[in-house]
Amino acid sequence: MVDIPYEGIAGTPPAEVPDVELYHPRSWWTRYVFSQDAKVIAIQYSLTASAIGLVALVLSWLMRLQLGFPGTFSFIDANQYLQFITMHGMIMVIYLLTALFLGGFGNYLIPLMVGARDMVFPYVNMLSYWVYLLAVLVLASTFFVPGGPTGAGWTLYPPQAILSGTPGQDWGIILMMSSLILFIIGFTMGGLNYVVTVLQARTRGMTLMRLPLTVWGIFTATVMALLAFPALFVASVMLLLDRLLGTSFFMPSLVEMGQQSKYGGGSPLLFQHLFWFFGHPEVYIVALPAFGIVSDLISTHARKNIFGYRMMVWAIVAIGALSFVVWAHHMYVSGMFPQFGYFFATTTLIIAIPTAIKVYNWVLTLWRGDIHLRVPMLFALGFIITFVNGGLTGLFLGNVVVDVPLSDTMFVVAHFHMVMGVAPIMVVLGAIYHWYPKVTGRMYNDALGKFHFWVTFLGAYLIFFPMHYLGLLGVPRRYFELGDTSFIPSSAHSLNAFISVVALTVGFSQMVFLFNLAWSLFKGEASGGNPWRATTLEWQTPETPPGHGNWGKELPVVYRWAYDYSVPGAEEDFIPQNQPPRGTHVVQGAAS
């Protein structure tokens, strides 16, 4: 940590900053493996999350094979299908998206964007990654234990989650709970870093209202996650005790396999409340960083300041606060007190207001901008469209009377894949393309990138649009096979086969993306420090990729907000945040 002199004459550069407490690696191991440098930790987080995410992608292929061509693949049985569903959902939501946005992008971008040398607690930050890795390994180990992973569905609802008859009842569920507990402990360590770094380690001149929206998004999401994950922690610990010690926190009295079970009196509804008290904020924990990042991508590649910056900040904060009072809209059919539904439907619809403000502001930023359709921008535009689509079906499901018939159908699957699957993944991919030159110093292959975008974007629509229709027909989710059902026409089966073919295609097209990243690492053109001519601090580092300590001898001083693009009268169409105002600049030039 470094001290920045705060007093002194305004406009003078800071004194040389003594690197008293900055951690210096002494060996290869502490530089690349047990590193305390946030940038290395970010890459470790991203690679681990991507690796386990690929496992989840393969699981989705297996599910689609079964749904598209039931009875064809003898190696998929009903139990395995449930296990695939469970692991796919859990990995994608928690171990991929949460870890990638906060652990990956948070670690890389926060210190660079706020002008700090590193996170404030580098050692705890390193521990955070290793605990996360342990959580991932525990989760992955469930594929190899007797009985396999749990097939309880990603919501893990008791009583069925721990009863015999549910796959993975022996080891799968125990390891799943243990892995979640580890993940939350690891995340809390990282989260403390992200929050305190934004609060305390911003460089001189970096007021809150000069922060790029990426930092606002990640910061608010982290605060939410720190308050919401304890609910999952509590639910996991109590369910684990129900399973291991035979307590009855959640387990009601019931007959299991013809025998009266040892359980009695527990409340499955209590679990649902705890789970969704975490689960709904989780949607925004994933969405807010995406909102922030996409704002920066759009502004940079449209060469225009973000429209309504203040409104964007307020909307992020408002969404963060509101998302804590909407959780029971996931529970309309759970048997909770029915009038609660009206309250939660109202709050759900209210949250659409700040969200809509953000969408309008993105569109207004694009309006009459100098739009460069580079790969990150394509993904950002893809995000806006997808998010609007997913958001609109959210209005359907947020209303109690519409939700009841649509509950547990493919419509819900289509909705949440659009809004928190495809949309955030669009941002993740766009952001990787956007910051790839900064992380590696090399440019990706543009043609491959564009190919990747179009296949992914069009493919995602071909997969999920028809699913809405299947849901409206009444095709249920989570079913291994539909069999002969009178209300499902045979065209639904053809549609399922079509979706499966597209899903496999889109899945394989991600290999093009991975190839592009790997190939460009060695063969890509040198990108220079600021290929997008962007304003934010991470593009102004003295070295690319940024060196240890990020900033050389002196921390940057910030003179302006993050969106000075196409300022009338300026020499260039962007002014970096650390460029002094013109008057100051001229005086310094004259003196030297």
Partner 1 sequence: MSAVILFVAVIAVVAGWWLSQQRLTARPWLEEGPAGDFPGGDAMTWPAAKIGLGVFLAVASALFILFISAYSMRMDVADWRTLPVPRLLWFNTGVLILSSVALQWSYVAARRDDAEGVMIGLLAGGAAAVIFLGGQLLAWQQLGAAGYFVASNPANSFFYLLTAVHGLHLTGGLVALGRTSTKMWRGAGIADMRLSVELCTIYWHFLLLVWLVLLGLLTGWTDDFVNICRRLLS
How far apart (Å, rounded) are the C-alpha atoms in residues 262 and 252? 10
DSSP 327: G
The Cα-based distances of 64 to 43, 81, 503 in angstroms read 31, 10, 7
Closer CB to partner 1, 483 or 569, in the complex: 569
Cβ-based burial of 12 (10 A; exposed 0-12, middle 13-18, buried ≥19): exposed
Q: Considering only residues 59, 87, 223, 297, which one is a binding residue for partner 1 as defined by CB under 8 A? A: 223
Site for partner 1 in 65-124 (CB under 8 A): 120-121
- Contact between 195 and partner 1 per CB under 8 A: yes
The Cα-based distances of 142 to 128, 145, 174 in angstroms read 22, 5, 9
How far apart (Å, rounded) are the C-alpha atoms in residues 584 and 82? 65
How far apart (Å, rounded) are the C-alpha atoms in residues 481 and 82? 11
Binding segment (CB under 8 A) for partner 1, from list 62-70, 84-92, 170-178, 576-584: 576-584
Binding mask 151-180 for partner 1 (x = CB under 8 A): ------------------------------
Binding mask 534-563 for partner 1 (x = CB under 8 A): -----------------------xxxxx-x
Least distance CB 192 / partner 1 (angstroms): 5
- Count of residues engaged in binding partner 1, rule: CB under 8 A: 66
Interacting residues of 306 by C-beta distance below 8 A, sequence separation 6+ = 213, 295, 296, 298, 299, 312, 361, 365, 563
How far apart (Å, rounded) are the C-alpha atoms in residues 222 and 135? 19
- Contact between 255 and partner 1 per CB under 8 A: no
The angle subtended at Cα 329 by Cα 294 and Cα 220, nearest 5°, is 35
Interacting residues of 259 by C-beta distance below 8 A, sequence separation 6+ = none
Least distance CB 35 / partner 1 (angstroms): 20
- Contact between 274 and partner 1 per CB under 8 A: yes
Closer CB to partner 1, 121 or 362, in the complex: 121
- The three-state secondary structure class of 373 is coil
DSSP 209: G
Q: Considering only residues 22, 145, 181, 270, which one is a binding residue for partner 1 as defined by CB under 8 A? A: 270
Q: Considering only residues 325, 357, 448, 482, which one is a binding residue for partner 1 as defined by CB under 8 A? A: 325
- Contact between 196 and partner 1 per CB under 8 A: yes
Closer CB to partner 1, 70 or 268, in the complex: 268
Closer CB to partner 1, 6 or 487, in the complex: 6
- Beta strand spans in 539-588 (E): none
Binding site for partner 1 (CB under 8 A): 1, 6, 10-11, 120-121, 188, 191-192, 195-196, 199-210, 223, 226-227, 230-231, 233-234, 237-238, 241, 245-249, 262, 264-267, 270, 273-274, 277, 305, 309-310, 313-314, 317, 321, 324-325, 557-561, 563-564, 580-581, 584
